[in-house]
Amino acid sequence: MAMAGLYRRLLPSPPCFDFASSHGKVTFSYGKQLFVEGIQNGTMEGFYRLISYFQTQSEPAYCGLASLAMVLNALAIDPGRKWKGPWRWFDESMLDCCEPLEIVKARGITFGKLVCLAHCAGAKVEAFHASQSTINDFRKYVLKCSSSDDCHLISSYHRGALKQTGTGHFSPIGGYHVGKDMALILDVARFKYPPHWVPLTALWEGMNYIDESTGKSRGFMLISRPHTEPGMLYTLSCKHESWNSIAKFLMDDVPFLLKSEDVQDIYKVFSIIFTSLPSNFEEFIKWIAEIRRHEDGDSSLSEEEKTRLAVKEEVLRHVHETSLFKHVSSFLSSSCGRQTLTSGDGDALPVIAASVCCQGAEILGGKHSSPAVYCCPETCVKCWKAEDDKSITMVSGTVVNGNTEQGVDVLIPSSSGKLCCTCSSKKNIRMHPASSDVLTVLLLSLPSTTWDGITDEKLLKEIHDLVSHENLSTLLQEEVLHLRRQLHILKRCQEGKVDEDLQAPLS
């Protein structure tokens, strides 16, 4: 056994028992025996998925990020963006929404912000502070997740309750032994402690410690896959420094502006909102594009890529079919709209292509720097017929970043079918999107209370008819509600309330 020091720590036994142990003073404390009996009793079902994606935290303070990445991968939730090369995969470095990685690296992450991250990643989350739950409820949830492979439980606890060195920690629960009332902790700090069994009562005690940074007790969260994949085409971004001011504008300022202005028609509503949009608004809402590197000269699409592109195109088509989209397009094409938004060229396919091409190279490079760093000397938009006789639009581009070049392909969703092949040579490129479809989706995603300050009853009814979810297709409803939940999450972060309210964001 390793001696206590900077190379591992001695696992205090009891109360902890090494998962791989085969010797001990008491027969029932053998880690291997507990595991075998757990399998026989059907309470190790979640273990197999988790162990397949078990990882070691890459930084001393990344236990929360490592636990979440491990669970998201075990649930096969698609991050919707690249990790490295052409691969999509959850990694700690990609969990930088809600809290900058530099801050997490320096002081860790709170329980509420990790719950926020899980929501932002597209998971279904149920979270509980220990002070707002009971040990019987906790035991029930541990049993539920241990008896199934479609949900997993992450515990936030204080190591002191387990006689371990250190303070607050996150790790997934890998299994449960009903007879001995013991839980298996798959400790992501594998450089320190191996996976180990602990009495559920001791773990519960550790979750009741108060986190000094929030004044709240620690707790546990159940993470599972949503019924449908959220955010197939649109997503909100909090990866730039001004996201909190934009979230505040949309949630607080817009209702106030509509209440304070003499609003008499729908175009006046658009003018008030669009004129007041922050200058960097285009960085806040983005398309989730299908991006890949040039590889082996093969431009053919896989069945998986075709399926995802088809869903994105379906979402875009449903947006274009809404009455609200027609009103927004009409406003933007008017002289008033053109003066309000200087993004008239934002809908030109070559500009969109070059923009998302640069974004794609940035993602593939694992960086989130200023778009000015990336230059797209040329992008070529290609349109061809797929085997099912459906038009496919793909951007092929070469992106230059310093002395390096990256060839990327971007699949562009389109509901038009009238696009033609064209090339563009643009060096100063704005970030897409800033177009009528994005503004339409954004208006649909605002809370229903946004419009309550409008005093003209006829106009208020017209607005409610345009933004009502009842008239939307199921696919578009899911897209809009996902954005609305994201907006609520970002507002909680902006107000510093994520540790106070752990419930799922309003729909």
Residue 268 CA from chain centroid, whole number: 34
DSSP run (H or E) holding 65: helix 63-74
Is 125 strand, coil or helix?
A: strand
> Is the preceding peptide bond at 14 cis, omega within 30 degrees of 0?
yes
Whether 120 is catalytic is no
Q: Which of 16, 63, 98, 376 is catalytic?
A: 63
- d(C-alpha 323, C-alpha 486), whole Å: 24
Residues 346, 485, 68, CA angle at the centre, nearest 5°? Answer: 105
DSSP run (H or E) holding 103: helix 101-107
Contact 18, 194 (CB under 8 A): yes
Place of tokens 């729908």: 266
Q: Which residues pair with 217 in a beta bridge?
A: 210
Q: Which residues pair with 216 in a beta bridge?
A: 211
Contact 72, 117 (CB under 8 A): no
Whether 187 is catalytic is yes
Q: Which of 119, 129, 158, 169 is catalytic?
A: 169
Whether 409 is catalytic is no
- Strands (E) located in 326-472: 375-385, 391-401, 404-411, 422-424
- d(C-alpha 375, C-alpha 405), whole Å: 10
Place of tokens 């897409």: 432
**How do 182-185 and 285-287 pair as beta strands?**
unpaired
Place of tokens 């906790």: 138
Nearest-CA neighbor of 159 among 301, 346, 353, 11? 11
Contact 428, 377 (CB under 8 A): no
DSSP for 142-173, written as a single string = HHHHHT-SSEEEEEEEEGGGGT-SSSEEEEEE
- d(C-alpha 416, C-alpha 436), whole Å: 14
The residues, any chain, with a CB within 8 Å of residue 416's CB and separated by 6 or more, are none
Q: Which residues pair with 151 in a beta bridge?
A: 224
Q: Which of 18, 91, 96, 187 is catalytic?
A: 187
The set of catalytic residues is 63, 169, 187
